[in-house]
Structure formats: structure tokens, C-alpha cells
């Protein structure tokens, strides 16, 4: 379980990234965080693996306050909490297999990891993870020779190979076209259901969030302005999160579509 207790984060320049956040995320949940650019979605997610450090309150992962963690604690935390990024974060010149095996690094000792000595079990797990996201045919391709959607699937395979208890995904589909975005979200959802890995995903748009999430957390200016199941999301929720009504948005969307047709 992950628990934010009166959690705030003030960046060194004085900007408040999180304001008094109280959220409990239960094991196995698929939670999507939505909000405008600058709302604090990345700050929320990055707090959980301590890529950023909240300045007040408590943040508990499995009943342990991770704000106290130093090097060893942080290393273990980041082995338990896997991360998927918008920009995939693959080693471009390495092949797919090597990239996916990197998911084991937190589990192997320093000596083995320095020399890239992976066990047969590690290799089997890496291959199986590639199969699960249907990209095993690219195993010996260089990462930079893959499309964005393929690279994101490799990064999902890497995180699976890590065997995390939690997966964080910060805008995993922001660089992908709509069908590819849906494919990636479908894999994340499938893994969440099959393996019971608690998954927290940041997305800009509530419509995609509604399709995949069990629960939605809406953020605005560093604060949680909505937290509930998809079934409780209403027009008012949309207004709270985005500061405008869904009808205005519909009208604006319609105008843009007309514009495109005229081009
Ligand atoms: N390292 C930093 N130093 C100072 N301010 C920061 C830092 N990182 C983020 N911020 C500010 O904190 C606020 C929240 O940023 P955050 O990246 O969490 O937003 P976000 O919801 O993820 O936005 P986006 O959708 O654009 O990714 C923003 O106003 C941002 O400018
Ligand atoms: Mg962000």
C-alpha cells in the first residue's frame, strides 16, 4: 500500500509542487492521475520512488516512511517500484534483449551487474517479458531502430523483468498516436490484472483515463481535487480538474476538427 499523509513538496525555487496531499493507494489498484500541464502529476509520481523529495508530511510505501530513506533504502525502493517514462529511457545503442535484462540490475550483485553476468533465469524472464508485450521478434534489434510504440513495449518488458510490486508510468503514451496509445495502455492494464501489480499512470486526458482506470485522481495546482472511481466522475469533476466545462471543450474540439478538414 502507498499512503500520502499531509504530503507537501516545495521546490528549491519556492514553487509548491504538492499541497497537503492525502491519498491511499491499495494493492492491485490501477490509478490514473489526470490534470493540466503543471498540475503536479509528475511530482506526485516521482515522489513515490523519491526522484523528488517531499518537504513535509509522510509518504509510506508498505508502511515504511520512504522520506527517511538513504542510499540503501532508496536502491531497494527503486527495485520494488518500477518506472516507465514518456521518452522510454532505453539505451539506444543496445539491443532490445540487453535493455530488458537491465531490469534485473537491482536484483543482481554489483560484481555481476558490472560484467553483465545474468543467470539463465534472468534471461528466461527477460524473454518471457518480451513475449508478453509481443515484441520478442525484435530481441536483437537495436533499441533506436524501433518505433515509439515498440520502444515503449520494450520498456514495459524491462519493468516486468524487474518484477516490481508497483509500476509508475509518467505520461507513457504522450509521444504516441492514438491507436498505439491504446495498445500500450491495454498492455499496462493487462499486466496490472494478471500480475496484480499496483499501477499508477499519469495522463493528460480524462477520456483515456476513464477507459483504463479503476480509480481517477484529479490534480490542479499541486492539490488533489478529485479522487474516486471512474463511475463517480461527472461534468463537475471535469471542471474542477481543468477549470472549464466539458461543453466548452466539446465546442472547442469541434472547431478544431472543422479547421483540420479545411486544410
Ligand atoms: N525541479 C523543479 N523546480 C521547480 N519547480 C518545478 C520543478 N519541477 C516541477 N516544477 C513545477 O512544479 C509544478 C508541477 O510540475 P509537474 O512536473 O509535477 O507537473 P505535471 O502535472 O507533471 O505537468 P506536465 O503535464 O506538463 O508534465 C509546475 O508548476 C512545475 O513548473
Ligand atoms: Mg509531468
- Rounded to whole angstroms, how far apart are CA atoms 85 and 170? 5
pLDDT of residue 111: 65
The answer to the question of residue 138 being in a domain is: no
The answer to the question of residue 23 being in a domain is: yes
- Rounded to whole angstroms, how far apart are CA atoms 62 and 59? 10
Least confident of 100-114, 174-188, 216-230: 100-114
For 60, 202, 258, the CA distances from 162, given in Å and listed in that order, are: 21, 21, 46
pLDDT of residue 261: 37
Q: What is the mean pLDDT of residues 121-145?
A: 96
For ligand 1, atom 17, name the residue with the nearest CA.
42
Q: Is the pLDDT of residue 18 over 70?
A: yes
Ligand nearest to the CA of 21: 1
The answer to the question of residue 171 being in a domain is: yes
> What is the position in ligand 1's atom list of the atom closest to the CA of 35?
21
Q: Where residue 55 sits, what CATH number does that domain have?
A: 3.40.50.300
pLDDT of residue 250: 56
The answer to the question of residue 174 being in a domain is: yes
The answer to the question of residue 209 being in a domain is: yes
| Number of independent structural domains in the chain | 1
Task: Please state whether beta strands 215-220 and 30-34 pair in parallel, antiparallel, or not at all (unpaired).
Answer: parallel
pLDDT of residue 257: 41
> What is the position in ligand 1's atom list of the atom closest to the CA of 44?
18
Q: Is the pLDDT of residue 260 over 80?
A: no
To test the pocket of ligand 1, the residue of 19, 35, 39 to mutate (highest count of ligand atoms within 8 Å of its CB) is 39
Least confident of 101-105, 174-178, 252-256: 252-256
pLDDT of residue 258: 41
Domain that holds residue 193: 2-89+166-253
Which residues sit opposite 158 in a β-bridge?
Answer: none
Instruction: Give the pTM.
Output: 0.91
The answer to the question of residue 60 being in a domain is: yes
Q: Is the pLDDT of residue 254 over 60?
A: no
pLDDT in tens, 183-234: 999 999 999 999 999 999 999 888 999 999 999 999 999 999 999 999 999 9
- Rounded to whole angstroms, how far apart are CA atoms 15 and 44? 14
Buried/exposed code over 197-227 (b: 16+ C-beta within 10 A; e: otherwise): bbbbbbbbebebbeebbbbbbbbbebbbbbb
The answer to the question of residue 107 being in a domain is: no
* Per-residue confidence band for 244, with pLDDT thresholds at 50, 70 and 90: confident
The answer to the question of residue 144 being in a domain is: no
> What is the position in ligand 1's atom list of the atom closest to the CA of 45?
18
For ligand 1, atom 16, name the residue with the nearest CA.
40
Q: What is the mean pLDDT of residues 253-260?
A: 43
Q: What is the mean pLDDT of residues 148-166?
A: 97
Amino acid at each position: 500500500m502507498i499512503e500520502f499523509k499531509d504530503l507537501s513538496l516545495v521546490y528549491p525555487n519556492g514553487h509548491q509542487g504538492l499541497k497537503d496531499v492525502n491519498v491511499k493507494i491499495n494493492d492491485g489498484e490501477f490509478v490514473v492521475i489526470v490534470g493540466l500541464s503543471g498540475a503536479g502529476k509528475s511530482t506526485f509520481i516521482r515522489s513515490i520512488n523519491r526522484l523528488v523529495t517531499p518537504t513535509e508530511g509522510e509518504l509510506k510505501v508498505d508502511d515504511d516512511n520512504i522520506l527517511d530513506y538513504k542510499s540503501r533504502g532508496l536502491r531497494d525502493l527503486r527495485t520494488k517500484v518500477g518506472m516507465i517514462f514518456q521518452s522510454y529511457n532505453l539505451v539506444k545503442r543496445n539491443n532490445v534483449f540487453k535493455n530488458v535484462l537491465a531490469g534485473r540490475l537491482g536484483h543482481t550483485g554489483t560484481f555481476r551487474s558490472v560484467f553483465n553476468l545474468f543467470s539463465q533465469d534472468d534471461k528466461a524472464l527477460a524473454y518471457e517479458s518480451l513475449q508478453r508485450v509481443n515484441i520478442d521478434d525484435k530481441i536483437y534489434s537495436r533499441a533506436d531502430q524501433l518505433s515509439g510504440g515498440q520502444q515503449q513495449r520494450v520498456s514495459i518488458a524491462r519493468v516486468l523483468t524487474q518484477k516490481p510490486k508497483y509500476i509508475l508510468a509518467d505520461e507513457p503514451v504522450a509521444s504516441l498516436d492514438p491507436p498505439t496509445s491504446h495498445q500500450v495502455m491495454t498492455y499496462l492494464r493487462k499486466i496490472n490484472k494478471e500480475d496484480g501489480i499496483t499501477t499508477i499512470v499519469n495522463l493528460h486526458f480524462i477520456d483515456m483515463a476513464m477507459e483504463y482506470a479503476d480509480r481517477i485522481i484529479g490534480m490542479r495546482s499541486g492539490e488533489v481535487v478529485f479522487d474516486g472511481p471512474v463511475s463517480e466522475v461527472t461534468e463537475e469533476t471535469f471542471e474542477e480538474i481543468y477549470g472549464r466545462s466539458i461543453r466548452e471543450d466539446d465546442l472547442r474540439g469541434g472547431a478544431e476538427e472543422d479547421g483540420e478538414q479545411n486544410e
